[in-house]
Amino acid sequence: MLPEFRNEPFGDFSSSERRASMQRALRHVAGQFGATYPLVINGEHILREEKLASLNPAEPARVVGYVCKGDQELANQALSAAEAAFQRWRQVPVEARAQLLLRAAAIMRRRKEELAAWMVYEVSKTWVEADADVAEAIDFCEYYARQALRLQGASHPLTPNPGEYNELRYIPLGPGLAIPPWNFPLAIATTLTVAPIVTGNTVVLKPSPRAPVMAAKLVEVLEQAGLPPGVVNLLPGDDAVIGDYLVDHPKVRFIGFTGSKAVGLRVLGRAAVRQEGQHWLKRSILEMGGKDATVVDETADLEAAAEGIVAGAFGFQGQKCSACSRAILVDGVYDLVLQRVVERTRELRLGNPARPETNVGAVIDKRAFDQISAYIAIGQEEGRLVAGGEVVDHELLKDGGYFINPTIFADVAPRARIAQEEIFGPVLAVIRARDFEHALEIANDTEYGLTGALYSRSVERLQRAREEFHVGNLYLNRKCTGALVGAHPFGGFNMSGTDSKAGGPDYLHLFTQPKVVAEKL
């Protein structure tokens, strides 16, 4: 009998022992820079000459690792391997599949600092952010193992019908795709991979070209835990070469995707087209981003609100779909909260995340750097710059990192571009509302619906937010980021995705189909 699920504790880096352990891990990982990681198809490790180079965003001249690139021929081989493995894996008892996840969680726990160190280098996460990413990956393994036992390890009662024995089972779908993003390169890759396999499916894992080494590390962990050949097949590659090919493939039964709205809509549209030889509707499980708001009214704890806004806006450089990119402040407290937010923002330390004192690292790459810089230029026309705005010319820096100062624009109109479009960087739009009614109206006036937060001491307004603040994850008197597996099942409405709830009790259902068997007695 498994003990009740508990979230993995976060690391305490105020401890000198933990700090020393993390520093040792960073040195250990840096000593492995430049290694080549193979594709993994049907358990075979395949080396190819064509490779993706994963660069350190804080020091782009340093290659974190090279990952071999797949093509359409290898994509077909990977899906064939997944299809063949499914016939065996689906017959494996759910208890054995759950044990695989529990072993993977134990391995991640033993390697926690090492895995976090890889993320510090590959995607420029600070120590705290990287540690939380590993903890979430561990949580997904532990949580889904327990949920699978509940879903597939017991019968589900049906209304009795005299003269019959009736049962309901949840069976797996078949081979599918896991397409995770770069911003949570271990945690989201883990949820999109282990949720399908613990329910008896098989997977082709196609990671983001911006963070392929972490996907290789995940497969390494699963192999150490006893993953059978073909159950998870690692296929890095260029999106333009294998992305559409995989989504279109007639052997694919489901697609788990986290990324931008534009790519998510493309996946959804292509998945809806029946291909020759395809005898099922592909299931799309999509999480596509947000334009998340924190609302503060005149009754709120203003210090707590300012702290939550800054943490939500600038944690991991604002590169989270849940990031607070809009602060909507009622008129009576607008100036005071804005002042507090600016003061707290100016205390943040921008720099290389390998250093423990860093709060804000580099954005992921040159493309992101240029896109965010363009939005800052737009913000100069749409609002009043009150913090940041200086784009660090990475070519002039010693290490050439892609650093952007946390930036705040005040007096932004609710329909301004920087108040409506997902920037995915350290840029906050501050909007003045006449009153709470107006603030709630502004908060809901977006095509997204992922996360939101309200700071208020009014019981009536908190209740109204529960009913009327239209987001999948609503936080009252706390920041809008930092969802915990099991406690805050995560996923949003509207253009934020298909309303799936990762880390929640319904999530595994998305990778199964219910089958009813009625036997006449």
- Asked if residue 183 and residue 77 are part of one domain, the reply reads yes
- Asked if residue 300 and residue 283 are part of one domain, the reply reads no
- Asked if residue 302 and residue 442 are part of one domain, the reply reads yes
Active-site hit among 59, 113, 223, 287: 287
Report DSSP state, residue 225: T
pLDDT (tens place) for every residue of the chain, 521 residues total: 899 999 999 999 998 999 999 999 999 999 999 999 999 999 999 999 999 999 999 999 999 999 999 999 999 999 999 999 999 999 999 999 999 999 999 999 999 999 999 999 999 999 999 999 999 999 999 999 999 999 998 888 899 999 999 999 999 999 999 999 999 999 999 999 999 999 999 999 999 999 999 999 999 999 999 999 999 999 999 999 999 999 999 999 999 999 999 999 999 999 999 999 999 999 999 999 999 999 999 999 999 999 999 999 999 999 999 999 999 999 999 999 999 999 999 999 999 999 999 999 999 999 999 999 999 999 999 999 999 997 666 555 556 899 999 999 999 999 999 999 999 999 999 999 999 999 999 999 999 999 999 999 999 999 999 999 999 999 999 999 999 999 999 999 999 999 899 999 999 999 999 999 999 99
Query: Is 287 among the residues known to form the active site?
Result: yes
In a domain, residue 350? The reply is yes
Domain that holds residue 103: 33-288+500-520
Query: Is 480 among the residues known to form the active site?
Result: no
DSSP string, 364-405: S-HHHHHHHHHHHHHHHHHSEEEE--PBP-GGGSSS----B-
In a domain, residue 427? The reply is yes
- Asked if residue 346 and residue 265 are part of one domain, the reply reads no
- Asked if residue 252 and residue 147 are part of one domain, the reply reads yes
- Asked if residue 69 and residue 167 are part of one domain, the reply reads yes
In a domain, residue 480? The reply is yes
- Asked if residue 227 and residue 183 are part of one domain, the reply reads yes
> How many folded domains does the chain comprise?
2
- Asked if residue 265 and residue 215 are part of one domain, the reply reads yes
Active-site hit among 321, 324, 422, 480: 321
- Asked if residue 400 and residue 509 are part of one domain, the reply reads no
Region for 23 from its dihedrals, namely left if φ exceeds 0, alpha if ψ lies in -120 to 50, beta otherwise: alpha
The CATH number of the domain holding residue 266 is: 3.40.605.10
- Asked if residue 257 and residue 240 are part of one domain, the reply reads yes
Query: Which residues are within 8 A (CB) of 410 and not within 5 positions of it... i.e. 6 or more apart?
Result: 338, 383, 384, 385, 386, 430
- Asked if residue 303 and residue 256 are part of one domain, the reply reads no
- Asked if residue 300 and residue 154 are part of one domain, the reply reads no
The CATH number of the domain holding residue 373 is: 3.40.309.10
CA dist 274 and 470 (Å) reads 33
